[in-house]
Structure 1
């Protein structure tokens, strides 16, 4: 089963647990602050997706397989949960909602749509591979080594959360070979049938281009109760750029 970080409810009531699925190159650790704040009334469980963090490695990174991983986690929590997924995790969450709607009460999809995208994230794999791990001993050194390939300091900081300095030399907690090989599946969308009749929130960054207006008909066909919301001043990494606004929007939707 996927590795998880469990945040127990501080003042538990009858609320279902919330499962959080991160995006490509992420980990459960990326969601620590938001997960802890949302764990006031409910348990929150953040997962490491396959080939990320300390979860099992696999030669496959397809959405049916990732959805099955999430189903196993939800079944271990009692068989029903709210589900939040960002980017790659959002697509896996949508596939699970369409194929196993019985497992999900409410769905939050963060800045992704059920469509195939033309962009390719392989350049980031290549950037991480260019870092000579035998010569870096600190995060600052790794950041400097990554800088020629990744201009954005925030994006470098995000990637470096997956570099484990407890190992000597440090190691990436990412299966870069498989992520590169399976990139067409990751940026694509499987031929998934079904409909999710439960409440679904498509939450996007106002400055992001991932969920375009022309995608709304496709979204509504699969998720007829879809609602749409934007966070001003945020891009694709909306949960990191505007964490409080993101948290409050998710909370209002889950508790409606």
Structure 2
């Protein structure tokens, strides 16, 4: 399945310069997804399709990603949090979900605006996201070099090549300067001493073969966030939401139905 074919099923809506994809009924509970470094709303195509029978699914695009214009911010995480706030406040206490860098931002949002969301879904992320210098070297060497690194480290060896190539095509659309900025933000992210202050129902998911944010990162989150639930998904790496979408969607839906007391 190719993301660019699916993208035609949805409408990108600019909202105060923050673009988003939306699928699902207006009267249903909402989950807002935040992509990782170099990503876009296309990261969440399988969630837009797989969860929208029961939820309104919103996938936003952060500053400089996808169809959201780049304001070239000096305060990167502050600007990204403002983007998330603009979307979250359109809905009534949505669940906030994030992958990797998006998971870091979701944690920061939960600490800063806990009353605005009803829960967190943290996917392939950690309380600290130190970046290996090789990542910056690869980015500085050109997009092809960076994508070689992504292909080598982002996916499980069990992942179909079609999924990998679709993901690489998606990442290629993001400017290298934005990707580098994203990883610089990740490299500076460290809330290991604050994460225990998160006081929201939290679902923590990670691929068993994740080399970028290995399961021990997720386990630390689980051990330090009260009222959290933790699952490791087999045959998936850092791109777990595209590598094993059905299993991830099932876990998200079951947890969401439970914390929101959804009924048929």
Common fold: TM-score over 0.5: yes
Give the secondary-structure state (helix, strand or coil) at the position aligned to 1:70: helix
TM-score (norm 1): 0.77
Given the alignment of the two structures, is residue 7 of structure 1 paired with residue 23 of structure 2, yes or no?
A: yes
1:21 alignment partner, one of 34, 44, 54: 34
Mark the structure with the bigger radius of gyration. Answer: 1
Over 3 Å counting, the alpha-carbon distance change for 1:38 and 1:218 in structure 2 is closer
Given the alignment of the two structures, is residue 34 of structure 1 paired with residue 37 of structure 2, yes or no?
A: no
TM-score (norm 2): 0.75
Give the secondary-structure state (helix, strand or coil) at the position aligned to 1:230: strand
Listed as ranges, the gaps of 5+ residues in structure 2 are 1-15, 153-160, 259-264
Residues 25 and 159, structure 1, Cα contact 8 Å, conserved in 2: no
CA–CA distance in 2 between the matches of 1:31 and 1:182?
18
CA–CA distance in 2 between the matches of 1:124 and 1:65?
25
In the alignment, what sits opposite 1:136? none
Give the secondary-structure state (helix, strand or coil) at the position aligned to 1:51: coil
Please give the root-mean-square deviation of Cα atoms over the aligned residues, in Å: 2.8
CA–CA distance in 1 between the matches of 2:209 and 2:149?
23
More helix by proportion, 1 or 2? 2
Q: Which aligned segments of 4 or more residues in structure 1 are displaced greater than 6 angstroms? A: 146-150
Aligned residues: 228
Give the secondary-structure state (helix, strand or coil) at the position aligned to 1:18: strand
1:157 alignment partner, one of 144, 158, 166: 166
Residues 131 and 186, structure 2, Cα contact 8 Å, conserved in 1: no
Listed as ranges, the gaps of 5+ residues in structure 1 are 132-145, 164-171
Residues 63 and 190, structure 1, Cα contact 8 Å, conserved in 2: no
CA–CA distance in 1 between the matches of 2:19 and 2:117?
20
In the alignment, what sits opposite 2:175? 175
